[in-house]
Structure 1
Amino acid sequence: MTDNTTRLDHVVLWVSDPAASAEFYEKTLGMAPIRLSEFTAGEAPFPSVRVNEETILDLMPMAMAERMKMLPGAARSAGHPVNHVCLSLPEADFHGLRTHLEEHDVPVSDYSYDSFGARGKARRSFYFRDPDGNIFEARHYD
């Protein structure tokens, strides 16, 4: 698969409280919740948040792990966050995100420089965690 038509659709994160996680992503990162009211009404199995027009994060309750039968061993993945998810932002938004995280008392790492990613070397990046311990990297290339 080397064509440019492949896009990242979604990443599923195991979370302890999907509604609280959706609130974190909305208030701290500005990601709009999807199906949150349906989830809280018991009409959807999990909510999501929109990263951009093509990509969402699904906030999967850890309690659903026992239902993960589509792949042998999938249920054991509950509670094991992905290594990290990287968000690529324009430079101004990158600085704005870091300031916003710090204002909300979300610990952030020191800056990294020239780390490799999908678009080559990023000028700067830093890391932070969500309330469930999932690690995010924020970076800018410009």
Structure 2
Amino acid sequence: MIKHLDHLVLTTANLSACTYFYTEVLGMQKEEFIGGTPPVKRLAFKFGFQKINIHEKGKEFLPKATLPTPGALDLCFIVSLPLADVVAQLQTHHIAIEEGPVTRTGAVGKITSVYVRDPDGNLIELSEYD
């Protein structure tokens, strides 16, 4: 029944730090659009055929999760560069690697991953397939 993930919603406590991390560090494209209830200006970070819609803590749009909370996500992204280049990019931005490189299992096989935290404390796994 499910074909693929279209978007997910991330709640942030610090919009500017969140925007910097996902656009400047991870290279996602910032998108502004009109949506929500009532329709208002929204923010998303696009990559490939997916996006992350952003809710700012205390200013969430309807409908929303029952308990929208910054720092509650654990996300894995497959990178488009060699993982060594990703690690160098993280170091350039002074992003601490919490763990890795380590071998894990992705949706379709073995992956090599490094783990970092975004400004809200979400666990971000950056991976490449072996």
Match of 1:111? 100
Alpha-carbon RMSD across the aligned residues, in angstroms, is: 2.4
Identity of aligned residues (%): 25
Which of 54, 57, 76 is the aligned partner of 1:62? Answer: 57
Q: Quick one: distance in 2 between partners of 1:102 and 1:80?
A: 22
How far the C-alpha of 1:80 sits from its partner, in A, is 5.0
Structure number with the higher helix fraction is 1
Deviations 1:56-102 (A, max 9, x none): 1112111134x6556xxx332333522x110112452x222211111
1:113–1:106 distance in 2 versus 1, CA, 3 Å: closer
The answer for unaligned runs of 5 or more in structure 2 is 35-39
Closer, same or farther: CA 63–89 of 1 in aligned 2, 3 Å: same
2:78 counterpart of 1:88 = yes
Contact 2:114 2:126 in 1 (8 A): yes
**Structure with a larger share of its residues in strand:** 2
1:80 and 1:132 mapped to 2: Cα distance? 5
**Is the Cα–Cα contact under 8 Å of residues 71 and 121 in structure 2 kept in the other structure?**
no
Match of 2:32 among 22, 32, 35: 35
- 2:114 aligns with 126
* TM-score (normalizing by structure 2): 0.81
Alpha-carbon distance in structure 2 between the residues aligned to 1:56 and 1:110: 25
Q: Distance in 2 between matches of 1:22 and 1:138?
A: 18
